[in-house]
């Protein structure tokens, strides 16, 4: 009888972290040649204490003058092109030894430059938003991506469509807390207008603070559900606010897990995200996690 080989991730070390409440697992596979499959990602999410929003699988760099390549998984096993909070967690992990103040990470969505802004605080250059309907992508041309209307959104009204490495739909409302996101999120995420699904953001503008506009934000994250924070959604929301005249090009974005500071730089159109990270614990994967996953 053939006995399957032990999964190549069994016993490997990991970090369980969070970026202002966005639950992150960081898996450093540099120098190993190992990779993570979708079934592996789903198995890890079921582990005790390992429920995550995103899994950041770090591998050897593919492009000269970059420090690592990141494959980003949602907890349903699907891949994401960007995760700002997870990128900050990876930055902390990779800057520990040797001590460094900056690095460049690569994802399928492009290069992300990370800079230390404090002991556990980092700034990530998330690049320029993509605003054309083809690049978001939407299923068909729209008259104005700043105000897209679909009947299924109902009282939420129109949304602004933005790609920040992944597709986002941002709804500005009078009271973000009054929206039943658990009901609206799944249907809107999978609406036919989004061929690659979308992150759904519910935003409310508040009084300025610290000299910046302030946005209250709740997010239904594509492939993860309601999350305490989503860095790329915070970036997309600031861009949407600026495009529609609700905010300037810099804002505090308050999510259930904490605050991010977002700036949409005029000089090159890049969006900068600054926030804190936390290490929750370190461990090694129990081989039993992968008992039902392909070897």
Tell me the catalytic residues. 83, 230
Instruction: Confirm if 73 and 82 have CB atoms less than 8 A apart.
Output: no
Treating both helix axes as pointing N-terminal to C-terminal, what angle do 84-95 and 231-243 enclose, rounded to 10 degrees?
A: 130
Other C-beta atoms lying within 10 Å of the C-beta of residue 200: 30
The widest CA-to-CA distance across the chain, in whole angstroms, is: 69
∠ Cα 279 107 233 (to 5°) = 65
Distance CA 172, CA 156 (A): 8
Distance CA 40, CA 82 (A): 19
Distance CA 125, CA 264 (A): 10
Instruction: Confirm if 187 and 179 have CB atoms less than 8 A apart.
Output: no
Q: Which residues contact 91 (CB under 8 A, 6 or more apart)?
A: 103, 105, 114, 116, 122, 124, 277
Instruction: Confirm if 104 and 127 have CB atoms less than 8 A apart.
Output: no
Look at the block and give the residue holding tokens 């770090």.
58
Residue 158 DSSP SS3: coil
The one-character DSSP state at 270 is -
CA-wise closest residue to 233 among 178, 173, 163, 294: 163
Q: Which two tokens stand for residue 201?
A: 């953001």
């Amino acid at each position: 009888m053939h006995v399957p080989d032990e999964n190549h991730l069994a016993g490997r070390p990991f970090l369980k972290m969070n970026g202002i409440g966005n639950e992150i697992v960081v898996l450093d596979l540099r120098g190993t040649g190992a990779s993570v499959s979708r079934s592996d990602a789903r198995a890890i999410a079921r582990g005790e204490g390992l429920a995550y929003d995103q899994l950041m699988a770090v591998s050897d760099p593919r492009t000269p003058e970059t420090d690592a390549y990141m494959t980003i998984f949602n907890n349903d096993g699907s891949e994401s092109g960007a995760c700002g909070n997870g990128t900050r967690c990876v930055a902390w992990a990779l800057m520990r030894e040797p001590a460094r103040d900056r690095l460049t990470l690569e994802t399928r969505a492009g290069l992300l430059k990370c800079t230390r802004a404090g002991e556990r605080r980092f700034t990530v250059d998330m690049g320029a938003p993509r605003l054309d309907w083809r690049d978001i992508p939407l299923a068909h041309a729209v008259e104005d991506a700043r105000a897209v209307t679909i009947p299924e959104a109902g009282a939420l009204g129109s949304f602004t469509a933005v790609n920040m490495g992944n597709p986002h739909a941002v709804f500005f409302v009078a009271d973000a807390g009054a929206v039943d996101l658990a009901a609206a999120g799944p249907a809107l995420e999978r609406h036919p207008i989004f061929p690659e699904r979308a992150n759904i953001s519910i935003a409310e503008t508040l009084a300025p603070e610290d000299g910046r506009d302030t946005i209250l934000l709740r997010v239904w994250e594509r492939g993860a559900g309601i999350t305490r924070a989503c860095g790329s959604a915070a970036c997309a929301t600031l861009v949407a606010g600026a495009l529609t005249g609700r905010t300037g090009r810099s804002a505090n974005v308050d999510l259930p897990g904490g605050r991010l500071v977002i700036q949409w730089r005029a000089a090159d159109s890049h969006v900068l995200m600054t926030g804190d990270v936390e290490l929750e614990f370190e461990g090694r994967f129990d081989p039993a996690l992968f008992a039902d996953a392909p070897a």
